[in-house]
Structure 1
Amino acid sequence: MRARNLAPLFFILAVAIGLLVWNFIKGNEPQLGLDLQGGVSVVLQPVEDGEVVEDVDSDLIDQSIEIIRNRIDAFGVAEPEISSQGSTVLVQLPGIEDQEAALDLVGQTAELRFRPVISVGEPPKEGDDERIEELRAALGMPEGVTAQQVSAEEQQLMLEQSGTVPPGTVPPGTVPPGTTATTAPAETTATTGPPGGEGAAPAGPTRYRVAQGPDTTGTTATTTTDTTATGSTDTTGTTAPGGGTEPVETPEPLNQYGIDVYSEEFGELLSLETSQRELTPPEDDQAEATVILPELDADGNEVRRYELGPTELTGDALENAVPSLSPEGAWVVLPTFKEGAEGIDQFNEVASRCVARDPSCPTGALGIVLDGVVISAPNIQQPTYERDQIQITGDFTRESAESLALALRYGALPVELEPQQVQTVSATLGEGALRTGIIAGAVAILLVGAYMCVYYRLLGLVGMLSLVVSGLLLWSIICWLGATLTLAGVVGIVMSIGVSLDSNVVYYENIKDDIRNGRTLGSAVDRAFDSAFSTIVKADLASLIGAGLLYFLTVGPVRGFALYLGLMTILDLVASYFFMRPLAIALGQSKLGNRPQLFGIPRPQASEPVAAGGEA
C-alpha cells in the first residue's frame, strides 16, 4: 500500500495522542456530576404567602435562575446545573461539602443594597507593591499610616473648618473612575467626565481640581455612571466672564502629616491600596459592615474593586425601574422610588450626605450591590430628588441598560422560592456509582471485543483499536471542554460502543460479500469501504438525530446521555474513515492478506467456481 494511503492513519493517531498528552500536561480533566461525586439536588417551587404559585411569568423564573447562578458561582461550586422545569427550578450542586450552607444560599431572598463608595481601585496586578512603595516614599507617608486614613482625616478637618466639604474637593482617587464629583445646574445634559481628565465642581465658593481614574469606555456589563435629576447635567470647568475658564485652585492640606491629598500621586496611591485589599467573602458581606466588593464585566472578570460603607437602603425602597432613550439618543435607566419614609425620603437622606461629601460618603458615589457584586456606582449630583424624576446615565448599551433596570426591579429573587424536593447524594454513593459505571463499560468492551476477535480475527482487532481511538478523542474533548460527566453520560458512552462496532460489522460483511463475488481480500478491503461507508453514515445520522432531539427537548441527566451518545457517534464516523479504513486496507494488502482465515474469512472450496470478472 502506498504511503499516502497511510497518511490518514498517521494523522488520526497523531491527533489522538497529541490531545491526550496536551490535556495531561495542562492538567485538564472532566468534571464529575452530582451522581458520580455526590452533592445536592434541589427542586425549588415559587410560593406566595405560603401558597404554591402554579402560574409564574417565565421572565421571573429566568431572572431567578440568573441570580441563583451568580450566587453559586461566587460560592465556588464547579459545573452546577440550573434549569427551569415549568414553574419550578432544578438546581444540582455536585461536589458541595457544606450542603446546608448551599441550600441556604440557593433559596435565600438576597437584598439589593445601596452602599456609599469610600474608595475605588483596579484589580491587583503585578508590580503594584513596588509602585505603592515608590508613591509612599515620594509623598512622605509615615510608616503604618494608610492613604485612606489621611484622606478621611483631611475630609473630617474640612468639615470641622467649614461645616461642609465643598463639592469637587474630594481627594483624587476617591471618585469612581470615569465619573465627575459635581452637582449640576438644571436644564442641561448629564455626562461622565473625560477619561483621565479633570472633573469640575458646580457653582460654589471655590472650585478644586479632581483627578480622574481610568476610562470606563467599553464596559457594558456593569457601568460606572452618574445619577441626575431628569434634565440635569454635569459640567466641566468654571466659566469665567467673557467665556473663558477659571483656573482650578488647590488648597493647602489640613492633615497633620502635610501630605498633598489633591495630587495625582496621592490619588494613585489611594486607588492602589484599595486594589490590594482582599475581597470580602460572601459570609462576611453583612449589611452593617464595610466591605470590599468587585465590579465584573460581561465575562465575569473583575474590572474594578470598591471599598463600600454600610448599607444605607435596600431594594425595598424601589418601586420600578425601566431603560429609556434620552433626548440625546443615549440609553439611561429611570428608577422610581416609593413614596415617603420607606422610599424616596431614605434615598434623599443619603443623597444629601453624598453631595456634602460627608465622611460616610466621601466620594459622593453610591454603589448598587446585588449578591456581592457592584452592578453600578452612580455619582450623586443633587441633595434631593423627586421619586420619579431620577435617571442613571452612563456608557450604556441597550442590553446593559435593560440588565441594570432588571436588577433594580428584581434585585432580590423576584419570586419567593422554597425547596419542593431535596436529594442528597453522599460522596461514597457517588464513588460507588462511578465504579459501577466503569465496571459496566469494561465488561461491555471485553465481551464485544472477544466476540469481534473470535468472529473477525484481525479485522476484529482493527475494530477494537478503532474504538480505542474514538475513546481517546472523546476523553480529550471532554477534558478540554471541562464537560460534566454524569452516570447518564457513562450509559451513553457504553451504548455508543455498540454503535461504533456496528460500523465495523457493516464494513467487514461488505468485504465478505465482495470475496464471495470473486474478489481477492486485497481488492475487497479497498472497494468495499465506499458502499459500507454510505450505510455507516446513514445509520449514524439516525443516531445523531435521536441524540439531538433528546438533548434539546429534555433536561437533567437525559441531556448528558444524549450529549455523549452524539459525540461518540460523530467520533465513530471520524475513526471509521481515518483509522479503520486505512488500517484494514494495509493489513489486507500485506502478506497477511494471502491468509484470509486470519481475517475471519474461510478459504473458498476447491470446487467453488470463481465468478467471471473476478480480480486476482
Structure 2
Amino acid sequence: MIFGLIVAVLYALVFFTGDKSPTPKLGIDLQGGTRVTLTARTPDGSQPSQDSLRRAQEIIETRVNGLGVSGSEVVIDGDNLVITVPGDDSSQARTLGQTARLYIRPVLGSQVSSNAKAQVPVTQTPAPAGAPAPEGAPAPEGAPAPEGAPAPQNRPFPAQEPAPAPAPEPTTAPAPPSGDLSTADQAAAEIAEAKKTRQSTDPAVQQQAMATLDCNAADPLQGNDDPTLPLVACSTDGTTVYLLGPSIIDGQEIADATSAFNSQQARHEVSLTFKSDGSTTWAQFTAANIGKQAAFTLDSKVVSAPVVQGATPAGSATSITGDFTAAGAKELANTLKYGSLPLSFSASEAETVSATLGLASLQAGLIAGLVGLILVLLYCLIYYRMLGVLTALSLVLSGVLVYAILVLLGRYIGFTLDLAGIAGLIIGIGMTADSFVVYFERIKDEMREGRSFRSAVPRGWARARRTILSGNAVSFIAAAVLYILAVGQVRGFAFTLGLTTILDVLVVFLVTHPLVHLASKSDFWSKPSVNGLGAVQQVARERKTAATSVHNAVGAQAKEA
C-alpha cells in the first residue's frame, strides 16, 4: 500500500504538474542540443591568458552543476569558451556565460529609455520592483513621477552631492571605431569610448549619455565598467536609464545567494548574504539612505533599483526583487553564488547541434536492457518458480518507479538521460535481482534446516536484509564517489547507478518481502509443486532421516555396551 501510494503521487506529479510531458529529457548524445560560443573580451584588447580561460571554464561548469543541467559541455576553443546544453533553449547557455560582476551603486537619477514606448523623461523613479530590506520586509511597488514633477535629491553613499547640470542638447551617439582595427583593438576602443561618456564625472556628459544611450544595442562595457567611477546604465528590461554613483559594495562580498518565492509579496526573490565587511557597509548605507534608491548592477546593467525602506542590520539577508520567474531567480542566484568570471564575454548566435549518437543508439541501449531483463526473468522463473513470479513483478514495479522519477528529475532539476545513464539503469536491474537472490537463498537455507516455508520466511528475511543493506551501501558509496570525482557523461552513469541502488532497497522492503510473506501464509503458494521449493524440502527430509538413523545407531551401540 505504501509503495502504491508513492507510485500514485509520482505519476500525479508527472501528469498534472509542470509541462506535463510524460517523457524523460534526453542528453546531447541522444537528442542534440544548442551551442553558444563565448568570445573573451579584455579591457585593453589583449589576448586572454589560458589560466583565465580555464578559471572561467571551471566557474561555468560549477554554474551548470548548480542548475542541475546534466550532460552539458564547456570546452576551451582557442580564445573562446563553447557551451553546449541539451535541447533547443539557447537562453540558458547564454545565462551561464554571464560575467556576473555585481556591484551595488547609489542611484543619482533616472529617466525612461529612449527605446521604451513611453518617451516621457522622468527623474528619481521609485523602485521598479520591491526594496532591499531585512528578510520578509514588505516592499511597495513604485510609480514614475509625472512629467516635470520635481524629485527628491538622492544622497549617495558616501555623501557625494552631484553638481546640477543643464539640460543636454540633442546629440548623436559616438561614432564606432574604425573598421581597420583588429578585433581585439576594436573591442578595446569600444570599451574606452563607452567609458568616456558613460563613466564620466562631468555632469553634462552624464546627462548626454543618459539621453543617447541605446538600451537595445549590444553593451561594449558588459562586465568592464570601473566600479570607482559613476556609471550610466540601462535596466535589464531596457525601459529605464540610470545615473549611478561609484560602487559601495563589490559582488565578491557576497557570502551566499539563494532563490525563493515570497508568498507574502507573491513574487520570486534572490536572497543575498554578505561577508563581514560588505554586511557592515550595507547596514551603514541603508541607515543613511532611507527612501533613496540603490541599484544592483550585474555586468553593467541594473537588475533591480529598489528603494531603501529601512535600515538592514549587519548580518541580515537582503533580497533582490524584480520581475523574476522561478527559473530566472534560480539562475541569478546561481550566477552570483559561484562567483564572477575573470573575463567578460560576448556571445555568438546560438546554433543547433545534432545528436552525436542519435536515436539508433538509444534504441540499441533499450533493447540491450530489455534482453537482459528477459533473461533475468527467465532464469528466476525456471530456478525459483513462484518466487520468480514475485521477482518479475518487483522488477516491473521498480521500472515503473524509475521512469516517473526520471521524468520529474528532468522537469524540475534539468536532469537529462544519456547513453551512460541508460547503462547505469541496466546495471541496476542486475543489482536488484541480486537482492532477490540473497533473500531467496536465505529462505532455502532455513528450509534445509528442516523449517517449513512459513517459518523460514521471517528468519530468512532477518538474515537477508542485513546482507542486502550492506551490499547496496557499498554500491551507493561507489556511485557517490564516482559522481563527485567524475566529469561529463560518467556523472550520468554514477547518478542513475546510485538512484537504482536506492530504489532497490525501496522495492525489496516495500514490495518483495511483503509479497513473499503473504505467499508463505497461503496454502496454495506453500505447495512445493507451486513454489519450487520441493527439492529443498526433500533435502531437509533426507538430512532429518540421516540424522535420525545416526542417532538410533548410536543409541543401539550404547545399549549393547
Identify the TM-score tier after normalising by the shorter chain.
0.5 to 0.7
**Within 5 A, what are the aligned runs for 1:269-308?**
285-287=216-218, 308=239
Which ranges of structure 1 fall in alignment gaps of 5 or more residues? 1-9, 121-145, 156-169, 181-193, 202-206, 212-224, 235-283, 290-303, 334-363, 380-392
Q: Give 1:442's aligned residue.
A: 370
Residue 518 of structure 2 corresponds to residue 586 of structure 1: yes
- Kindly tell me: are residues 372 and 436 of structure 1, through their superposed partners in 2, closer, same or farther at Cα, counting changes over 3 Å? farther
Q: Give 1:489's aligned residue.
A: 421
Partner SS for 1:502: helix
The code of the aligned residue for 2:417 comes to L
Following the alignment from structure 1 to structure 2, what is the Cα–Cα distance between the partners of residues 552 and 417? 29
Which ranges of structure 2 fall in alignment gaps of 5 or more residues? 132-137, 163-214, 221-234, 254-276, 287-291, 321-331, 549-561
Q: Do the aligned residues in 2 keep the contact of 1:69 with 1:82 (CA within 8 Å)? A: no
State the Cα distance separating 1:492 from its structure 2 match: 0.5
Q: Do the aligned residues in 1 keep the contact of 2:110 with 2:243 (CA within 8 Å)? A: no
Partner SS for 2:544: coil
Q: Give 1:130's aligned residue.
A: none
Following the alignment from structure 1 to structure 2, what is the Cα–Cα distance between the partners of residues 374 and 63? 23
Q: Give 1:15's aligned residue.
A: 6
Following the alignment from structure 2 to structure 1, what is the Cα–Cα distance between the partners of residues 100 and 280? 35
The code of the aligned residue for 2:111 comes to I
Following the alignment from structure 2 to structure 1, what is the Cα–Cα distance between the partners of residues 13 and 96? 37
Following the alignment from structure 1 to structure 2, what is the Cα–Cα distance between the partners of residues 94 and 378? 36
Following the alignment from structure 2 to structure 1, what is the Cα–Cα distance between the partners of residues 501 and 63? 36
Q: Give 2:403's aligned residue.
A: 475
The code of the aligned residue for 1:543 comes to S
Following the alignment from structure 1 to structure 2, what is the Cα–Cα distance between the partners of residues 487 and 25? 28
Partner SS for 1:590: coil
In the alignment, which of 338, 356, 379 is matched to residue 451 of structure 1?
A: 379
What is the Cα-based RMSD across aligned positions, in Å? 5.8
Partner SS for 2:85: strand
State the Cα distance separating 1:397 from its structure 2 match: 7.0
Following the alignment from structure 2 to structure 1, what is the Cα–Cα distance between the partners of residues 388 and 512? 10
Q: Do the aligned residues in 1 keep the contact of 2:438 with 2:464 (CA within 8 Å)? A: yes
Q: Give 1:175's aligned residue.
A: 126
**Within 5 A, what are the aligned runs for 1:378-457?**
414-415=342-343, 426-427=354-355, 429-457=357-385
Q: Do the aligned residues in 2 keep the contact of 1:489 with 1:561 (CA within 8 Å)? A: yes
Following the alignment from structure 2 to structure 1, what is the Cα–Cα distance between the partners of residues 478 and 281? 52
Q: Do the aligned residues in 1 keep the contact of 2:112 with 2:239 (CA within 8 Å)? A: yes
State the Cα distance separating 1:499 from its structure 2 match: 0.5
State the Cα distance separating 1:103 from its structure 2 match: 8.0
State the Cα distance separating 1:415 from its structure 2 match: 2.3
Following the alignment from structure 1 to structure 2, what is the Cα–Cα distance between the partners of residues 451 and 309? 71
Q: Do the aligned residues in 1 keep the contact of 2:439 with 2:461 (CA within 8 Å)? A: yes
- Kindly tell me: are residues 321 and 602 of structure 1, through their superposed partners in 2, closer, same or farther at Cα, counting changes over 3 Å? closer
Residue 88 of structure 2 corresponds to residue 96 of structure 1: yes
C-alpha distance after superposition, 1:457-494 (max 9, x if no partner): 11111112111222222223233333322221111010
Q: Do the aligned residues in 1 keep the contact of 2:30 with 2:418 (CA within 8 Å)? A: yes
Q: Give 1:610's aligned residue.
A: 544
In the alignment, which of 26, 29, 32 is matched to residue 32 of structure 1?
A: 26
% identical aligned pairs: 30
Q: Give 2:165's aligned residue.
A: none
- Kindly tell me: are residues 375 and 288 of structure 1, through their superposed partners in 2, closer, same or farther at Cα, counting changes over 3 Å? closer
Q: Do the aligned residues in 1 keep the contact of 2:447 with 2:540 (CA within 8 Å)? A: no
Following the alignment from structure 2 to structure 1, what is the Cα–Cα distance between the partners of residues 54 and 155? 31
C-alpha distance after superposition, 1:38-94 (max 9, x if no partner): 125789898987867443498755655688999xx9xxx976736799x99784311
- Kindly tell me: are residues 21 and 450 of structure 1, through their superposed partners in 2, closer, same or farther at Cα, counting changes over 3 Å? farther
State the Cα distance separating 1:521 from its structure 2 match: 1.6
The code of the aligned residue for 2:396 comes to V
Partner SS for 1:175: coil
Following the alignment from structure 1 to structure 2, what is the Cα–Cα distance between the partners of residues 530 and 103? 51
The code of the aligned residue for 2:401 comes to L
Q: Which moved more, 1:89-98 or 1:464-473?
A: 89-98
Q: Give 1:500's aligned residue.
A: 432
Following the alignment from structure 1 to structure 2, what is the Cα–Cα distance between the partners of residues 509 and 32? 39
Partner SS for 2:477: helix
- Kindly tell me: are residues 573 and 608 of structure 1, through their superposed partners in 2, closer, same or farther at Cα, counting changes over 3 Å? same
**Within 5 A, what are the aligned runs for 1:530-569?**
530-569=462-501
Q: Give 1:228's aligned residue.
A: 156
Following the alignment from structure 1 to structure 2, what is the Cα–Cα distance between the partners of residues 64 and 24? 33
Following the alignment from structure 1 to structure 2, what is the Cα–Cα distance between the partners of residues 565 and 18? 23
State the Cα distance separating 1:495 from its structure 2 match: 0.3
**Within 5 A, what are the aligned runs for 1:48-63?**
53-56=49-52
Q: Give 1:515's aligned residue.
A: 447
Following the alignment from structure 1 to structure 2, what is the Cα–Cα distance between the partners of residues 306 and 41? 25
Q: Do the aligned residues in 2 keep the contact of 1:46 with 1:53 (CA within 8 Å)? A: no
Following the alignment from structure 1 to structure 2, what is the Cα–Cα distance between the partners of residues 524 and 42? 62
The code of the aligned residue for 1:442 comes to L
Q: Do the aligned residues in 2 keep the contact of 1:117 with 1:365 (CA within 8 Å)? A: no
- Kindly tell me: are residues 233 and 537 of structure 1, through their superposed partners in 2, closer, same or farther at Cα, counting changes over 3 Å? farther
State the Cα distance separating 1:587 from its structure 2 match: 1.7
- Kindly tell me: are residues 521 and 51 of structure 1, through their superposed partners in 2, closer, same or farther at Cα, counting changes over 3 Å? same
- Kindly tell me: are residues 460 and 92 of structure 1, through their superposed partners in 2, closer, same or farther at Cα, counting changes over 3 Å? farther
Q: Do the aligned residues in 2 keep the contact of 1:331 with 1:401 (CA within 8 Å)? A: no
Partner SS for 2:156: strand
Q: Which moved more, 1:545-554 or 1:17-26?
A: 17-26
Following the alignment from structure 1 to structure 2, what is the Cα–Cα distance between the partners of residues 486 and 16? 24
TM-score (norm 2): 0.56
C-alpha distance after superposition, 1:218-269 (max 9, x if no partner): xxxxxxx9661524589xxxxxxxxxxxxxxxxxxxxxxxxxxxxxxxxxxx
Following the alignment from structure 1 to structure 2, what is the Cα–Cα distance between the partners of residues 179 and 480? 32
- Kindly tell me: are residues 540 and 327 of structure 1, through their superposed partners in 2, closer, same or farther at Cα, counting changes over 3 Å? closer
Partner SS for 1:286: coil
Following the alignment from structure 2 to structure 1, what is the Cα–Cα distance between the partners of residues 430 and 54? 41
Following the alignment from structure 2 to structure 1, what is the Cα–Cα distance between the partners of residues 219 and 40? 29
Q: Give 1:375's aligned residue.
A: 303
The code of the aligned residue for 1:37 comes to Q
C-alpha distance after superposition, 1:401-433 (max 9, x if no partner): 9999x98xx98x5326799xx998525943223
The code of the aligned residue for 1:228 comes to P
The code of the aligned residue for 2:51 comes to D
The code of the aligned residue for 1:308 comes to T
Count, aligned residues: 409
Following the alignment from structure 2 to structure 1, what is the Cα–Cα distance between the partners of residues 386 and 278? 72
Residue 523 of structure 2 corresponds to residue 572 of structure 1: no
Following the alignment from structure 1 to structure 2, what is the Cα–Cα distance between the partners of residues 44 and 306? 22
- Kindly tell me: are residues 424 and 518 of structure 1, through their superposed partners in 2, closer, same or farther at Cα, counting changes over 3 Å? farther
In the alignment, which of 111, 121, 132 is matched to residue 118 of structure 1?
A: 111
- Kindly tell me: are residues 396 and 90 of structure 1, through their superposed partners in 2, closer, same or farther at Cα, counting changes over 3 Å? farther
The code of the aligned residue for 1:589 comes to K
C-alpha distance after superposition, 1:170-195 (max 9, x if no partner): 5x9x3335999xxxxxxxxxxxxx96
Q: Give 2:283's aligned residue.
A: 330
- Kindly tell me: are residues 486 and 68 of structure 1, through their superposed partners in 2, closer, same or farther at Cα, counting changes over 3 Å? closer
- Kindly tell me: are residues 572 and 209 of structure 1, through their superposed partners in 2, closer, same or farther at Cα, counting changes over 3 Å? same
Partner SS for 2:84: strand
Following the alignment from structure 2 to structure 1, what is the Cα–Cα distance between the partners of residues 216 and 65? 18
Following the alignment from structure 1 to structure 2, what is the Cα–Cα distance between the partners of residues 578 and 51? 61
Q: Do the aligned residues in 2 keep the contact of 1:39 with 1:94 (CA within 8 Å)? A: yes
State the Cα distance separating 1:606 from its structure 2 match: 10
Q: Give 1:595's aligned residue.
A: 527
Q: Do the aligned residues in 2 keep the contact of 1:511 with 1:528 (CA within 8 Å)? A: yes
Partner SS for 1:450: helix
Residue 393 of structure 2 corresponds to residue 465 of structure 1: yes
